[in-house]
């Protein structure tokens, strides 16, 4: 009898162990979000070809590290948004404004180089440069384009059905935003004081929040919101708006500009906290891209960067950047004409052309923020949806 009792106890323990393991697997599966699509909004940090479609195509010096040539991206290869899509098992996002070979079945990208949160009123591209002008496709316009997309994607008939997202995708999709860098940079280029710049930031955050609420009204429920990166480390600012050496930090970045970026980020975080209260049925993840990117400048050798503050594709000056010698442009130096080409080893540079990042830097940044280590709450990309 004792023998059978022992056998029963043994079998029971196996059953309990198996049940516990199964429950853990089910729990782990339930913590993973199944995003069928991504809808992205922003500026050059995530533009996959809208600007090139609107104004002028990028020279073949852009995209060579991954695409073998021009891919509409302001980089030598993939951007953070490309890596995020791939990590979710989704294809790269097609620009909403580009009709050539468009397939929006798994999302669309509304980001545009030089886009701002605030609606620009002067210095519109391509009429002027300050030093590069402002894109008329502000965040307001991007949201308006998305609203049109929601309607038209569901009313184009059977012929285009396979190229459009399913109706239920709009509620299940991941909505990503990365914008604000140009708003801050423009104020610096206009020689505004810190107090003057800080005074406009609450309105910017309010505009951003209003646009996110518009996305919510259009079906969005999961939002992945990037803060702005370390502006003081960008070659364009270090060159066009230089600061004295004693105002550079240990990484060689301009402390004043990074402090302004952090001030904006603190307001943004508060804005996201308020959105959680206002829209309790939605999920919001605030992503500290600033810290993820700044760490590259703090320890460049750790990540293989030998030229942390120089542009890979640029010419002239300490930071290999001049507004009259942009990447892909034709210039004359000492009577000799040549095209400004990218560096031989882009993977050794953090910055690509003065403003945006190399594929190497974006790959590292994407991997780090996807883990949840830089997020509030600490959600990984795959666990960012509403539970």
Task: State the Cα–Cα distance between residues 14 and 77, nearest whole angstrom.
Answer: 51
pLDDT of residue 71: 87
What is the DSSP code (8-state) at residue 90?
A: -
Output the pTM of the full model. Answer: 0.90
pLDDT of residue 18: 45
pLDDT of residue 31: 62
Domains, the chain: 34-304+357-383 (3.40.50.1110)
How many beta carbons lie within 10 A of that of residue 339, not counting itself? 13
pLDDT of residue 134: 75
pLDDT of residue 99: 82
Q: Which residue has the tokens 């810190």?
A: 194
Which among 354, 212, 342 has a CA at the least distance from the CA of 272? 212
pLDDT averaged over 10-residue windows placed end to end, the chain, 387 residues: 44 43 38 92 96 78 86 94 98 93 95 93 60 82 97 84 95 98 94 97 98 98 98 97 97 98 98 98 98 98 98 95 88 91 96 97 98 96 90
pLDDT of residue 63: 86
Cite the DSSP H helix spans in 218-336.
235-240, 255-278, 289-298
Q: What would the two tokens of residue 90 be?
A: 């989704």
pLDDT of residue 61: 75
pLDDT of residue 21: 42
Distance of CA 191 to the CA centre of its chain: 27
Task: State the Cα–Cα distance between residues 104 and 101, nearest whole angstrom.
Answer: 10
CB of 3 closer than 8 Å to CB of 138: no
Task: State the Cα–Cα distance between residues 51 and 123, nearest whole angstrom.
Answer: 16
């Amino acid at each position: 009898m004792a023998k059978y009792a022992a056998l029963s106890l043994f079998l029971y323990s196996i059953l309990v162990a198996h049940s516990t393991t199964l429950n853990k697997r089910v729990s782990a599966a339930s913590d993973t979000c199944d995003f069928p699509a991504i809808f992205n909004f922003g500026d050059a940090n995530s533009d996959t070809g809208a600007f090139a479609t609107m104004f002028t195509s990028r020279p073949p010096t852009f995209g060579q590290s991954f695409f073998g040539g021009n891919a509409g991206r302001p980089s030598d290869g993939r951007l953070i948004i490309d890596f995020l899509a791939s990590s979710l098992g989704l294809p790269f996002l097609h620009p909403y404004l580009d009709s050539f070979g468009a397939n929006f079945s798994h999302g669309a990208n509304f980001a545009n180089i030089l886009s701002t949160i605030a609606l620009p009123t002067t210095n519109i591209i391509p009429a002027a440069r300050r030093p590069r002008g402002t894109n008329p496709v502000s965040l307001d316009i991007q949201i308006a384009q998305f609203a049109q997309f929601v309607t038209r994607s569901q009313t184009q008939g059977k012929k285009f059905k396979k190229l459009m997202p399913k109706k239920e995708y709009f509620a299940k999709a991941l909505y990503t935003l990365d914008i604000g860098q140009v708003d801050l940079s423009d104020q610096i280029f206009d020689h505004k004081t810190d107090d003057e710049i800080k005074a406009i930031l609450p309105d910017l955050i309010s505009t951003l929040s209003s646009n996110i609420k518009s996305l919510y009204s259009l079906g969005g429920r999961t939002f992945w919101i990037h803060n702005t990166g370390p502006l003081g480390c960008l070659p364009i600012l270090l060159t066009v708006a230089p600061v004295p050496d004693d105002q550079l930090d240990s990484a060689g970045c301009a402390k004043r500009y990074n402090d302004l970026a952090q001030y904006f980020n603190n307001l943004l975080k508060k804005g996201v906290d308020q959105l959680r209260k206002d829209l309790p049925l939605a999920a919001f993840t605030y992503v500290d891209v600033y810290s993820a990117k700044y760490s590259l400048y703090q320890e460049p050798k750790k990540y293989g960067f030998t030229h942390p503050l120089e542009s890979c594709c640029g010419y002239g000056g300490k930071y290999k950047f001049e507004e009259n010698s942009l990447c892909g442009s034709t210039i004359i130096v000492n009577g000799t004409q040549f095209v400004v080409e990218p560096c031989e080893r882009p993977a050794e540079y953090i910055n690509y052309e003065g403003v945006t990042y190399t594929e190497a830097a974006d790959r590292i940044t994407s991997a780090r923020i996807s883990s949840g280590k830089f997020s509030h709450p600490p959600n990984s990309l795959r666990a960012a949806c509403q539970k």
